[in-house]
Chains A and B, each alone.
Chain A
Amino acid sequence: MSSKDRVLGRIRRALRDAAPEGEIPRDYLPVHGVRTPAARVDLLAAHLAEYRAVVHRTHEEALPALLTRLLDARGARSVLVPPGLPPHWLPAGGPTRVPDRAESTPYELDLVDSVVTGCALAVAETGTIVLDGGPDQGRRRITLIPDHHVCVIRVPDQVVDSVPQALPLLDPARPLTWISGPSATSDIELDRVEGVHGPRTLEVVLMGTQ
């Protein structure tokens, strides 16, 4: 008998006398509170900042100048760029662009200073951005190895209130990364320290339309 059959057999014997269970109550709240789109974006910004992400606000025309300034301020000499990042976001003449390529080794990525991506959506109530590996976000590892991640969120369109609102918009077949503030640990006397293995600095740009 295979282990699969053995385990399944044990489960069936264990449940022989189990009573049928009731319905799953789904009366929990889909959203906590009623917000205007602007208030939703404000809440997202507040929650991101509380977990030590650096939040900036701009509009599409001013985005290239802002990104240039952020990369300059870090002294970034190279920046990872997902294949579908809108070309006009990063003006020519800035840090060397490193394309997101399957054949890059982790060691090569470790030499890159910064990464700029979009996102799939953001969740205001938890201060979370979600990446789904889309063309403007790239492979999971490019937002992990460089020490500086700049993520651009189109507001208010990409912002939802809550986790229950976020899940139906995501495709589980894609690799998903939920990011709430930069890498952190509380393993030493429960003192929170940011930046252990993931990027030490997470900058979030809330990009509205003008």
Chain B
Amino acid sequence: MTGTYLGMPAMPATPRMPAVPATPEVPSFPEAAREAVRDGVLRANLRHATHTIRDKRARAVAELADWDRLRAAGRAVKDHTLRHLDRYLLQLEEAVTAAGGTVHWAADADEANRIVTDLVRATGEREVVKVKSMATQEIGLNEALEAAGIAAYETDLAELIVQLGHDRPSHILVPAIHRNRAEIRDVFRTEMGRWGRPAPGSLGDDPRELAEAARLHLREKFLRAKVAVSGANFMVAETGTMVVLESEGNGRMCLTLPETLISVVGIEKVVPTFRDLEIFLQTLPRSSTAERMNPYTTMWTGTMKGDGPTAFHLVLLDNGRTDTLADETGRQALRCIRCSACLNVCPVYERAGGHAYGSVYPGPIGAILSPQLRGTARAIDASLPYASTLCGACYEVCPVAIDIPEVLVHLRERVAQGGPATRAGIRVTLRPADGHTAERAAMRAARLLLDHPGALRAGERLLARARRLAPRRLPGAGRAWTDSRELPTVPPESFRDWWAARERSTPR
């Protein structure tokens, strides 16, 4: 719809938001990445953005002489909380309830979506405003609400760009990092009018103009909103306090103007004491946006008479987190405070972009978190632990010292060899992933040859003589390997033969 803005929000008869494309058949990481690295615009957008933010971050971190100690403390607080997670969640529930809130427990995505849908229905409203939240993306809440006839409006600028563009987020902190200003202008011009106030006809591609268009478009939604849905960066067990860090004020709008506030939060987001925030309020902004402090932080405890929502619901989300907790090596992924510093330094993310990871958690943290939350049964999840060069840059920048390379290697082993894991709370023994059967057969053959030097020597000579016939690509199961690698050329003589000849001809 185009035309002049007449002051009335242009609501379709039945509000239907552009849903994030459903992707039941997500391609594996190498397949998706191959597409992405061919996209020159995408690579340029990503390179510009990640390099800008990583340089700024390094300066912000260098300001604090005690960074390493803050990092160690953050890690220890998170480990301690995870070690006693049951106790802290019960304490949190008690504190939130005492402050006038209601706590709900959701074992999986479906249950969380059902709880939120029922809570929205109970208000009689058909639309909600949303603060950017990874947890609600993870469970597909917008799609679930849409199926129930409830429109969910994303209000973070980047999320709005993604939602209006029928796109998927590509970065934890800057979901529209893969879009440049010209692309954003086009999205605003064509899509805004379908969901509310249209963009001005003369809209240019200056970031100020684009932000202003978003301000006007969203303000009508903020002012009329009766129900909001958010996540939270932290929950304090001791006091029941919820904490949301943001920049634009869309968070404050959603957290304080509506009558009903529903927060969906992963169980790993709890910290024991109010004092613990002193660590994360120093490390999170510097690691994520490279600022000393983000422009706005909102903290609320239950409900406050006369100020803010009159009803507060907290939905505590498991959805694979307890399975992750059961893995001794992998559980450190639950320390993550979603700062996204690991994305910005990752050479693989920089080239492949966030979509290739097939998950709301892209980059190095996504490569270890998604296969743990979802299991490794699907091709994408089995491929994610390999979406890394193991260079270790992600570990270096992590403000809670998650040893991402260690977990990647651990998960590779699980994918290749199978073994014990926990799924939906039940101990299971995983079989090796299909794609790795050939690799294991090759390793068995190699062991046989290396254990029998005569056979190896004979094989090498045969190969050297037939080298003109050697293919550039391997056939059958080996093809996947040579698709992304050069097959080495076969030398005219094996090293062992060369060495033996050299020994014979060189006088001692």
- Residues of A at under 8 Å CB distance from B? 2-4, 6-15, 17-18, 20-29, 32, 47, 51, 102, 105-107, 110, 123, 125-128, 133, 139-141, 144, 163-164, 167-168, 172-191, 193, 195-199
Considering the chains assembled together, what is the distance between the CA atoms of A186 and B208 in angstroms?
10
Q: Mark B294-331, 1 if CB is under 8 A from A, else 0.
A: 11111111001011100000001010001101101001
| B-chain residues with CB within 8 Å of residue A195 when the two chains form the complex | 211, 215
Q: Size range of the interface on B? A: 35 or more
CB distance from B51 to the nearest CB of A (A): 10
Considering the chains assembled together, what is the distance between the CA atoms of A107 and B77 in angstroms?
43
Q: Are A8 and B73 in contact (CB under 8 A)?
A: no
| A-chain residues with CB within 8 Å of residue B316 when the two chains form the complex | 7
| A-chain residues with CB within 8 Å of residue B207 when the two chains form the complex | 188-189, 191, 193
Q: Are A196 and B214 in contact (CB under 8 A)?
A: yes
Known: A21-B76, A177-B298. 9 other contacts (CB 8 A): A22-B76, A27-B69, A106-B224, A176-B298, A184-B248, A185-B248, A189-B45, A196-B211, A196-B250
Considering the chains assembled together, what is the distance between the CA atoms of A144 and B223 in angstroms?
12
Considering the chains assembled together, what is the distance between the CA atoms of A128 and B278 in angstroms?
14
Considering the chains assembled together, what is the distance between the CA atoms of A110 and B331 in angstroms?
47
| A-chain residues with CB within 8 Å of residue B293 when the two chains form the complex | 123, 126-128, 178, 180
Looking at B105-113, B462-470, B493-501, the stretch in contact with chain A turns out to be: B105-113
- Residues of B at under 8 Å CB distance from A? 45, 48-49, 52-53, 63-66, 69-70, 72-73, 76-77, 79-80, 83, 85-86, 89-90, 99, 105-107, 111, 155-158, 161, 174, 176-177, 180-181, 184, 207-208, 210-211, 214-215, 218-219, 222-224, 236, 239, 241, 247-250, 252-253, 256-257, 267, 274-275, 277-279, 281-282, 289, 291-301, 304, 306-308, 316, 318, 322-323, 325-326, 328, 331, 422, 425
| B-chain residues with CB within 8 Å of residue A21 when the two chains form the complex | 76, 79-80, 83
Most buried by B among A12, A123, A125, A173: A173
Supply 22 A–B pairs (Cβ within 8 Å), ascending by A.
A7-B105, A7-B107, A8-B90, A28-B73, A29-B69, A105-B223, A126-B293, A127-B292, A133-B304, A172-B299, A175-B256, A175-B299, A176-B298, A177-B296, A177-B299, A180-B296, A184-B248, A185-B157, A187-B174, A188-B184, A190-B177, A198-B249
Q: B222 touches which one: A106, A127, A139, A191 (CB < 8 A)? A: A106
CB distance from B312 to the nearest CB of A (A): 11
| Given contact pairs A21-B79, A174-B304, A196 touches B157 in the complex (Cβ within 8 A) | yes
| B-chain residues with CB within 8 Å of residue A176 when the two chains form the complex | 297-300
Question: What DSSP secondary structure best describes chain A's contact surface?
Answer: loop
CB distance from A108 to the nearest CB of B (A): 10
Considering the chains assembled together, what is the distance between the CA atoms of A47 and B83 in angstroms?
38
Most buried by A among B80, B207, B267: B207
| Given contact pairs A7-B105, A144-B253, A181-B295, A167 touches B239 in the complex (Cβ within 8 A) | no
Most buried by B among A9, A133, A185: A185
- The chain B residue with its CB closest to the CB of A173 is B301
Q: Are B291 and A180 in contact (CB under 8 A)?
A: yes
Q: Are A25 and B66 in contact (CB under 8 A)?
A: no
Most buried by B among A14, A174, A182: A14
Q: Are B223 and A106 in contact (CB under 8 A)?
A: yes
CB distance from A2 to the nearest CB of B (A): 7
CB distance from B441 to the nearest CB of A (A): 34
Most buried by B among A12, A110, A140: A140
| B-chain residues with CB within 8 Å of residue A139 when the two chains form the complex | 256, 306-308
Q: B297 touches which one: A17, A18, A177, A193 (CB < 8 A)? A: A177
Q: Are B306 and A102 in contact (CB under 8 A)?
A: yes
| B-chain residues with CB within 8 Å of residue A189 when the two chains form the complex | 45, 48-49, 180-181, 207
| A-chain residues with CB within 8 Å of residue B425 when the two chains form the complex | 6, 9-10, 13
- The chain A residue with its CB closest to the CB of B70 is A28
- The chain B residue with its CB closest to the CB of A167 is B278
| A-chain residues with CB within 8 Å of residue B256 when the two chains form the complex | 139-141, 144, 175
CB distance from B310 to the nearest CB of A (A): 10
Q: Are A15 and B295 in contact (CB under 8 A)?
A: no
CB distance from A151 to the nearest CB of B (A): 13
- The chain A residue with its CB closest to the CB of B243 is A176
| B-chain residues with CB within 8 Å of residue A175 when the two chains form the complex | 256, 298-301, 304, 307-308
CB distance from A34 to the nearest CB of B (A): 13
- The chain B residue with its CB closest to the CB of A27 is B69
Considering the chains assembled together, what is the distance between the CA atoms of A9 and B89 in angstroms?
12
CB distance from A60 to the nearest CB of B (A): 28
Q: Are A23 and B304 in contact (CB under 8 A)?
A: no
| Given contact pairs A14-B325, A106-B223, A197 touches B250 in the complex (Cβ within 8 A) | yes
Q: Are A187 and B156 in contact (CB under 8 A)?
A: yes
Q: B322 touches which one: A10, A23, A105, A144 (CB < 8 A)? A: A10
| Given contact pairs A126-B292, A167-B277, A24 touches B76 in the complex (Cβ within 8 A) | yes
- The chain B residue with its CB closest to the CB of A123 is B293
| Given contact pairs A2-B105, A198-B249, A173 touches B239 in the complex (Cβ within 8 A) | yes
Considering the chains assembled together, what is the distance between the CA atoms of A174 and B240 in angstroms?
12
CB distance from B91 to the nearest CB of A (A): 12
| B-chain residues with CB within 8 Å of residue A17 when the two chains form the complex | 328
- The chain A residue with its CB closest to the CB of B245 is A178
- The chain B residue with its CB closest to the CB of A199 is B249
Q: Are B325 and A32 in contact (CB under 8 A)?
A: no
- The chain A residue with its CB closest to the CB of B68 is A28
Q: Are B211 and A188 in contact (CB under 8 A)?
A: yes
| Given contact pairs A187-B156, A188-B184, A32 touches B65 in the complex (Cβ within 8 A) | yes
